[in-house]
């Protein structure tokens, strides 16, 4: 059973109590027998004997975490006999040695050692802080020593000791045979350690060995003049040793006999086309290395892979033709690689140069085509195609070269790969849609912009069904009834489209210098408005006849216009009741102060938010962003016009709340609602563009 110091002390106290009780009994007995005489001048009883003395030592009191210390416990038995006569033989000796260890310093004993011989143990200290040790000894008379204690500090950060910094020089370091050079060796130690030895040596006669007479070693700095009698490059070495055992080294070359230093051959790889392509092999013709000392052909000798070995399939080097052939493995994203080319010979000297490049991924895309119509979520047979992206600005995309040709997929699943390395790829998809309004039996196009440096395994292209000509054109009542059935939560049974009297395109903002449409912009908006079947449905397909009869439904303003259908208040620009007004703005920003191409706001009848009757709207278009780009103006204008016509509950922007039926949103309702007005649709969101409009190429 393991015993602690406390156990020993408890046993000793208990034995002491028994001894005292026995002594009291004996005293009482003696007093009763008149054997004890009370004397005022009597000397008290001396102690029966002296307790032993314990010794506790450690070899280190400050260590680093993980280091070990040696702990020793010993003791000396003491006797009154020795006090009276130092030469007297004592009959006392130590019978028990005891050690308690608290390694983490938390006050709890972690280890106890109790044995009959002196304690000598090594212990590794793994807790930062203070390790505490306590020891005592017991003699053969049962007497216990005082407890001896000590602490060892355990450091978390090891104390780093640095090697000396060696300074070695040869003056001069270039000389003729028979001349002398002053060799000097010195050193400093940043830790303040003592430099105990300096050593200087060299193969001065260039026989391949360093003999004892070519070594100079002493305990102070070295400086002497040395005659050089052997021609060649002689490397002189210097070393300095500190008292902690650290060694600092340095060397210097001495050129004897005016022999020029043989410079290393060099090669410039900066002009080499180092780019590799996903899964392809490439042969590179390496440039010729040059050597200032040795004219002629410097051969390449080998090539080693330093980085990117996992992405390289094979590498071969033809020293004769200097052709390096590299085949890259198929990668799922761009990867870096580094090769080390060795060149030169023993005669010309040897050198290496690194060739670093990128393995570019040819974007591979796997996925499927789906519809967001009545059969949403079902894979649809169709086509995919992809282009390089030249420019992408706020929903408008300029496509470049065709990098994935049009590919048909009978089951709707596709696995296609770009034929060149590009940064961004514009993926387009459409499904087979018989009876399509455009007459090409295809759905609207879904477009997606992807990072072309990566591969994709599960891209779902959700496409918009095209309106069916068998149910087109719809009437205003058809449209109203469908909206009523689709959005019952917004009380749209009160949606009275008959209150919309017309659409007006202002040629100038009501505030001076706030915005203006030129004649080409106004004509582009006129074209789009007249082409909208949503507008035709809004005005019961009587748009043209209404104009012919003088009942204006679409008013395109110019400098001569005198009758306007808007009103302006301190809360901001608002439309006149019953009209949709299109306004030019130079610097249009949303509520987050982000520049945008278009915004639409709607009103309730008589400005009452409780009636839920849409009766007017204002469309603001950013003339700075769309200036000169009339095709984009048409798209943005029609996008905002559809907000004004079909946005329920007074929220006209899909940027803030997705209530509009605009956009490729499943929550927008079944595809039939598009039959009413959505020949143009899309949404502003990174990675997408407007869907195909009539006449737009796939």
The residue with greater pLDDT, 543 or 122, is: 122
Q: Would strands 53-58 and 68-76 be described as parallel, antiparallel, or unpaired?
A: antiparallel
Counting the structural domains of the chain, the total is 5
pLDDT of residue 41: 47
Greatest mean pLDDT among 5-9, 97-101, 139-143, 258-262: 97-101
Residue 81's H or E segment, with its range, is: helix 80-84
pLDDT of residue 216: 95
Instruction: Please indicate, yes or no, whether residues 105 and 251 belong to a single structural domain of this protein.
Output: no
Strand order in the sheet with 68-76: 53-58, 68-76, 119-124
With 90 as the cut, is the pLDDT of residue 485 above it? no
The stretch 5-17 carries a mean pLDDT of: 55
Instruction: Please indicate, yes or no, whether residues 189 and 58 belong to a single structural domain of this protein.
Output: no
Domain of 391: which CATH number?
2.60.40
C-alpha closest to that of 541 among 553, 550, 528: 553
269 falls within a domain: no
* Paired residues of 182 in beta bridges: 171, 225
Instruction: Please indicate, yes or no, whether residues 81 and 15 belong to a single structural domain of this protein.
Output: yes
The stretch 448-457 carries a mean pLDDT of: 89
Instruction: Please indicate, yes or no, whether residues 434 and 477 belong to a single structural domain of this protein.
Output: no
* Residue 604 Rama label (left phi>0; alpha psi -120 to 50; beta): beta
Q: Where among 360, 383, 406 does a domain terminate?
A: 360
266 falls within a domain: no
548 falls within a domain: yes
pLDDT of residue 26: 43
Instruction: Please indicate, yes or no, whether residues 394 and 354 belong to a single structural domain of this protein.
Output: no
695 falls within a domain: no
Instruction: Please indicate, yes or no, whether residues 448 and 585 belong to a single structural domain of this protein.
Output: no
Instruction: Please indicate, yes or no, whether residues 177 and 150 belong to a single structural domain of this protein.
Output: no
The stretch 490-494 carries a mean pLDDT of: 37
**Tens digits of per-residue pLDDT, 628-654?**
788 778 778 877 776 666 543 333 332
Domain of 206: which CATH number?
2.60.40.10
pLDDT of residue 258: 62
pLDDT-based confidence at residue 115 (cuts at 50, 70, 90): very high
62 falls within a domain: yes
Contact 329, 311 (CB under 8 A): yes
Instruction: Please indicate, yes or no, whether residues 419 and 487 belong to a single structural domain of this protein.
Output: no
For 192-257, list the strands marked E by DSSP: 195-202, 215-218, 222-227, 232-242, 247-256
529 falls within a domain: yes
The stretch 283-308 carries a mean pLDDT of: 90
The stretch 307-322 carries a mean pLDDT of: 93
With 90 as the cut, is the pLDDT of residue 496 above it? no
C-alpha closest to that of 232 among 212, 257, 250, 252: 257
591 falls within a domain: yes
With 70 as the cut, is the pLDDT of residue 689 above it? no
The stretch 320-340 carries a mean pLDDT of: 93
Among positive and negative, which fits the CA dihedral 102, 107, 108, 109?
positive
261 falls within a domain: no
- When the pLDDT of each residue in the chain is averaged and rounded to a whole number, the result is 76
Instruction: Please give the residue range of the domain that contains residue 99.
Output: 5-155
pLDDT of residue 604: 41
Instruction: Please indicate, yes or no, whether residues 557 and 673 belong to a single structural domain of this protein.
Output: yes
**Tens digits of per-residue pLDDT, 205-249?**
999 999 999 999 999 999 999 999 999 999 999 999 999 999 999
The residue with greater pLDDT, 165 or 632, is: 165
The residue with greater pLDDT, 636 or 573, is: 636
pLDDT-based confidence at residue 698 (cuts at 50, 70, 90): low
Instruction: Please indicate, yes or no, whether residues 289 and 317 belong to a single structural domain of this protein.
Output: yes
By percentage, how much of the chain surpasses pLDDT 90?
Answer: 40
Instruction: Please indicate, yes or no, whether residues 484 and 548 belong to a single structural domain of this protein.
Output: yes
How many residues belong to the chain? 698
- Which pTM does this prediction carry? 0.39
Q: Where among 155, 186, 202 does a domain terminate?
A: 155
pLDDT of residue 504: 86
pLDDT of residue 240: 96
- For residues 73 and 109, what is the distance between their CA atoms, to the nearest angstrom? 17
Instruction: Please indicate, yes or no, whether residues 356 and 439 belong to a single structural domain of this protein.
Output: no
């Amino acid at each position: 059973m393991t015993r602690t110091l406390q156990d020993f002390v408890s046993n000793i106290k208990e034995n002491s109590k028994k001894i005292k009780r026995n002594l009291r009994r004996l005293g009482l007995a003696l007093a009763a027998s008149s054997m004890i005489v009370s004397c005022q001048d009597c000397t008290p009883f001396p102690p029966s004997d002296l307790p032993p003395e314990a010794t506790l030592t450690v070899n280190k009191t400050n260590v680093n975490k993980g280091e070990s210390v040696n702990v020793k416990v010993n003791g000396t038995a003491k006797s009154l006999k020795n006090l009276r006569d130092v030469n007297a033989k004592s009959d006392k000796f130590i019978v028990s040695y005891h050690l308690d260890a608290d390694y983490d310093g938390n006050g709890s004993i972690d280890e106890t050692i109790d044995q009959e011989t002196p304690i000598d143990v090594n212990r590794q200290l793994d807790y930062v802080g203070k390790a505490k040790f306590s020891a005592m000894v017991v003699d053969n008379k049962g007497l216990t020593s005082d407890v001896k204690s000590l602490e060892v500090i355990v450091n978390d950060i090891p104390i780093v000791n640095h090697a000396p910094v060696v300074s070695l020089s040869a003056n001069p370091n270039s000389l003729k045979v028979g001349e002398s050079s002053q060799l000097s060796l010195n050193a400093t130690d940043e830790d303040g350690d003592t430099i105990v030895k300096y050593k200087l040596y060299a193969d001065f006669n260039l026989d391949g060995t360093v003999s004892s007479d070519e070594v100079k070693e002493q305990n102070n700095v070295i400086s002497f003049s040395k005659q050089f009698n052997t021609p060649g490059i002689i490397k002189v070495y210097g070393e300095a040793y500190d008292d902690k055992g650290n060694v600092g080294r340095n060397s210097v070359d001495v050129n004897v006999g005016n022999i020029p230093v043989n410079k290393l051959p060099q090669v410039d790889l900066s002009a080499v086309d180092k780019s590799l392509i996903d899964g392809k092999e490439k042969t590179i013709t390496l440039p010729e290395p040059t050597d200032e000392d040795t004219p002629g052909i410097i051969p390449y000798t080998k090539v080693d892979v330093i980085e990117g070995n996992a992405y390289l399939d094979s590498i071969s080097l033809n020293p004769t033709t200097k052709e390096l052939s590299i085949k890259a493995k198929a990668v799922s994203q761009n990867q870096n690689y580094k090769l080390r080319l060795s060149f030169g010979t023993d005669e010309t000297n040897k050198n290496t140069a690194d060739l670093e490049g990128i393995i570019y991924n040819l974007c591979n895309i796997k996925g499927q085509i789906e519809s967001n119509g009545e059969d949403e979520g079902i894979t649809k047979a169709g086509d995919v195609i992809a282009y390089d992206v030249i420019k992408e600005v706020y929903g408008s995309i300029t496509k470049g070269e065709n990098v994935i040709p049009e590919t048909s997929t009978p089951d709707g699943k596709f696995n296609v790969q770009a034929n060149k390395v590009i940064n961004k790829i514009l993926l387009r998809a459409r499904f087979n849609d018989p009876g399509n309004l455009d007459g090409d039996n295809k759905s609207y196009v879904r477009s997606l912009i992807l990072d072309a440096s990566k591969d994709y395994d599960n891209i779902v292209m959700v496409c918009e069904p095209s309106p069916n000509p068998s149910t087109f054109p719809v009437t205003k009542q058809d449209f109203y009834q469908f909206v009523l059935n689709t959005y019952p939560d917004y009380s749209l049974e009160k949606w009275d489209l008959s209150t919309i009297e017309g659409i007006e395109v202002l040629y100038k903002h009501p505030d001076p210098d706030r915005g203006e449409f030129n004649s080409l912009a106004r004509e582009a908006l006129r074209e789009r408005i007249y082409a909208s079947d949503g507008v035709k449905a809004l005005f019961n397909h009587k748009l043209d006849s209404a104009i012919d009869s003088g009942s204006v439904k679409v008013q395109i303003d110019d400098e001569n216009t005198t009758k306007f259908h808007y009103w302006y208040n301190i809360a901001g620009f608002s439309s006149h009741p019953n009209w949709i007004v299109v306004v030019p703005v130079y610097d249009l920003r949303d509520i987050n102060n982000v520049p945008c191409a278009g915004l639409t706001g709607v009103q309730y009848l008589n400005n009452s938010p409780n009636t839920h009757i849409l009766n007017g709207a204002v469309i603001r278009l950013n003339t700075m962003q769309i200036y000169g780009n009339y095709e984009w103006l048409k798209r943005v204008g029609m996008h905002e016009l559809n907000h004004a016509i079909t946005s329920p509950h007074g929220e006209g922007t899909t940027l803030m709340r997705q209530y509009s039926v605009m956009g490729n949103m499943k929550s927008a309702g079944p595809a039939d609602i598009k039959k009413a007005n959505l020949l143009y649709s899309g949404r502003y969101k990174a990675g997408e563009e407007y869907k195909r409009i009539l006449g737009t190429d796939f």
